[in-house]
A and B are shown apart, each in its own frame.
Chain A
Amino acid sequence: DAGVIQSPRHEVTEMGQEVTLRCKPISGHNSLFWYRQTMMRGLELLIYFNNNVPIDDSGMPEDRFSAKMPNASFSTLKIQPSEPRDSAVYFCASSLILGELFFGEGSRLTVL
């Protein structure tokens, strides 16, 4: 079975540009999580969905960040406009059993 698929794996963009990160969760999983990982702050939960419904977005840094899950097989995380401090690795994870997360390989974002 395919795991969690994220794209792009690497993104380099200039400050002010829009960035869209994509995630395809494992088929049948009903929870999806977006995390951000940096050296300074570690692993931070940004937002999570249950059955395609956003449950808690209190970790989203500010209004520049938005996430959607239009159906059970696709989610996006958008940053508009992007800033250098948004540079990080963004992980998507899906889950069926509480606590057992399956992570994608991450999207490494560099904002110049």
Chain B
Amino acid sequence: AQSVTQLGSHVSVSEGALVLLRCNYSSSVPPYLFWYVQYPNQGLQLLLKYTSAATLVKGINGFEAEFKKSETSFHLTKPSAHMSDAAEYFCAVSDLLLGNTPLVFGKGTRLSVIA
């Protein structure tokens, strides 16, 4: 069964500092991987997705993620944190080769940005 593990339920960074949110996946077949963001009192929004094309994926709001098969990782990064980045971030995996299966989400990582 496919799954994702997000390391760290809470990450705190200073404004302007590097953001690194970790995600490791488990899948028996090549996965499709996603990062979603949830702002307070809102639903989740898609940040970026990896679907076996380029291993470095760029998303919205300056975020990017790199797929590393050897490490089974899909970490999310942003060079310089902004106060508006404070939110909860979810990594998700889908095994689309098996057909129309829904996403499996990680537990989420809450990002705090300190002024």
Contact = CB atoms under 8 A, between A and B. Distances in A.
Interface of A: 4, 31, 33, 42-43, 45, 48, 50, 55-56, 91, 93, 98-106
Contact of B107 (A42, A45, A103, A104): A42
B34 A99 contact: yes
B44 interface: yes
Contacts of B104: 45
A105 B104 CA distance: 19
B84 interface: no
B63 interface: no
Contact of A103 (B44, B51, B94, B106): B44
Contact of A4 (B34, B43, B96, B105): B43
Interface of B: 32, 34, 36, 41-46, 49, 51, 90, 92, 94, 96, 100, 102-108
A50 B100 contact: yes
Contacts of A91: 43-44
A99 B44 CA distance: 13
Contact of A104 (B36, B43, B102): B43
B96 A103 contact: no
A101 B100 contact: no
Given A91-B43, A106-B43, A43 B108 contact: yes
17 contacts: A4-B43, A42-B105, A43-B90, A45-B104, A50-B100, A55-B100, A99-B32, A99-B34, A99-B51, A99-B92, A99-B94, A99-B103, A101-B46, A102-B46, A103-B43, A106-B41, A106-B42
